[in-house]
A and B are shown apart, each in its own frame.
Chain A
Amino acid sequence: MGASVEFRAEGLPLPPGELDDDLARLDRLVAATGARTVRVLGDLVQGAVKAATEARVAEWRASLPAALELVPGNHDRHQATLPAAWGVTMLPALVHEGPFAFSHAPTAVPSAFVWAGHVHPTATLSGRADRLRFPAFVVVPGLGLLPAFSRFTGGATIRASPGLQRFLCVEGEVVALELTE
């Protein structure tokens, strides 16, 4: 959250707006799904939280009708400094819940399906003389990779491979690249 704030703190005048955008999309998702918990799989912040980000997220958090949890990842090593006003419940690096496990980095857990972040998968829809790249959900046996939530996060391009399914996020719609059985 607040990557552009970080850039500005480094003296690079990136326009603001992406944080508000991300928070508004989260609000819409929580409202649409009635979710009781928002669980973040790592990469919540990139470095020490700057004052502007802290205040804006705190304001948003106050009106969020859900719990906010973080499965910490490699960018969250400043987790001790996450502002108290964000009300983030810190979880262990691996969380089990029902048939699922949640982790920041992809991992294999016997008898559980793991959801992970970290990779920020994207995939390319290509046709004759045209191609477009989108953020994508990637599913392999026992593991699902979530796309980056923030719009402006570079990610790894995942190519087709046997046993792998890719689902593109296309303007509010999900497009399956592989035919599911």
Chain B
Amino acid sequence: MRAAIGTIVSDSALAVQVAGRGRIGSIDEGFIAALAPGEAFIFGGERLELVGIRSMVVYAKRATKKTTRTVHWPGNKLPITGTLGHALRRTLDEAAAGRRDCPELVAAAPILDEQARLSAVPRADTLLAEVVETAEGHHLYLFPFEGRKVHEGLGALIALRVGRLHPATFTIAADDHGLELLHPEALPWPDLLVSALFTADNLVDDIVASVHISELMRRRFRDIARVAGFINPGNPWEQKSARQVQASSSLLYDVFTRYDPENPLLSQARREVIEQHFDQSRLAEALARLRGARVVLTRPSHPTPLGIPLRESRLTRNVATTESVAQRVARMRRGRR
């Protein structure tokens, strides 16, 4: 059992208790919170079925059903580096050209073939864009392979620049391979995905504005409020859930932004967001590459192997909007009639 009692911020881990066997380990809260009772997952090499979660203990039993859901750990959330992203793009490029000379590419072949059939496999000199409509809304998937943090920043930047022309609300998800912009109404992506979208002009101003329209700072603020002593995560024997901590940090964030927008804690959150998600040199480099890339836009009938992880896991979700609250309310009310 791992419990955070100090100032160092980490995700909470929950103890896993299996009927008849006691506690067999601990599990990342973010992973298990996404499962419903009755769903199965793979833990320590065996299949378990979630029975329920009570006071920070996960109750599970041996599962009979099959699953491929494997626990993830905070280490999975470390973004890939620029170098690794480059290598990934190169390998995919070779795979697209038919290379199958190593076990990994042979194993990945069915997935790559399905990706090629539904959409396209990204090449080194292209930017793959997939436009998909589902019951959820309109999705744009982009696969720059620049790492999750850069993609989160890039997503907010695209939301800002597109949102200026077409006021909209975007839900942005990102992983190491790409990003997803989910939006309620159709957008003319072929006209929007041009090199001007990736320009380095006014980049500094646009980064500040992107932070402003998105929730990246609100999320970052949670850890800052925790370190500053505003949020008590609870004692090890009565830990609060991440959801409770998030709720109080969100209220605090609102109080600060409304009554003390110049507060150093907010500046700290802004600085950390800009450092992490808008790393100037990496973002500028990525934008330069995207400006030079040939956009390959496909319209798959449903999300592709590259897009599914973004749609399903939603490791991070961030809303960025260039609409007012009144506009969003009016749009949603229209949709209800």
Contacts and interface: CB of A to CB of B under 8 A. Distances in A.
> Do A and B interact?
yes
Q: How large is the interface on B (under 10, 10 to 19, 20 to 34, 35 or more residues)?
A: 20 to 34
A127 B332 contact: yes
9 contacts: A4-B255, A15-B255, A15-B256, A15-B259, A127-B332, A129-B138, A130-B184, A132-B328, A170-B325
B258 interface: yes
Given A129-B138, A130-B328, A152 B255 contact: yes
Nearest to B333: A175
A130 B169 contact: yes
A15 B171 contact: no
Given A128-B137, A129-B184, A154-B248, 9 more contacts: A127-B184, A127-B333, A127-B335, A129-B137, A129-B138, A130-B137, A130-B171, A130-B184, A130-B332
Contacts of A175: 329, 333
A151 B255 CA distance: 9
A12 B326 contact: no
Contacts of B332: 125-127, 130-132
Given A129-B136, A132-B328, A152 B263 contact: no
Contact of B251 (A125, A152, A171): A152
Given A15-B255, A17-B258, A154-B247, A128 B263 contact: no
A9 to B, nearest CB: 14
B325 A132 contact: yes
A46 to B, nearest CB: 14
A154 B252 CA distance: 10
9 closest A-B pairs by beta carbon, nearest first, are A129-B137, A127-B332, A15-B260, A17-B259, A15-B259, A127-B335, A129-B184, A128-B184, A128-B137
Contacts of A154: 247-248, 251
A129 B182 contact: yes
Contacts of B45: none
A151 B254 CA distance: 9
Contacts of A18: 255, 258-259
> Which DSSP category, helix, strand, loop or mixed, fits chain A's interface?
loop
B44 interface: no
Interface string A35-79: 000000000000000000000000000000000000000000000
Contacts of B329: 125, 132, 170, 175
Interface of B: 136-138, 169, 171, 182-184, 229-230, 247-248, 251-252, 254-256, 258-260, 263, 319, 325-326, 328-329, 331-333, 335-336
Nearest to B247: A154
Given A127-B332, A130-B332, A175-B329, A14 B252 contact: yes
Contacts of A87: none
A92 interface: no
A148 to B, nearest CB: 11
Interface string A152-181: 111000000000000000110001000000
Nearest to A3: B255
Interface residues on A, range: 20 to 34
Contact of B259 (A12, A16, A125, A171): A16
Contacts of A152: 251, 254-255
B335 A14 contact: no
Most B Cβ at <10 Å: residue of A16, A21, A128, A175: A128
Chain A CB within 10 A, most for which of B184, B248, B332: B332
Contacts of B319: 130
A153 to B, nearest CB: 8
A60 to B, nearest CB: 18
Contacts of B169: 129-130
Contacts of B252: 14
A153 B251 CA distance: 7
Q: Most B CB atoms within 10 A — which of A11, A16, A129, A154?
A: A129
Nearest to B261: A15
A151 B256 CA distance: 13
B232 to A, nearest CB: 10
Given A12-B230, A170-B325, A17 B260 contact: yes
Give the residue among B182, B230, B248, B329 with the most A Cβ atoms within 10 A.
Answer: B329
A151 B257 CA distance: 13
A19 B171 CA distance: 34
A12 B248 CA distance: 14
A53 to B, nearest CB: 15
A127 B171 contact: no
Nearest to B135: A128
B215 to A, nearest CB: 12
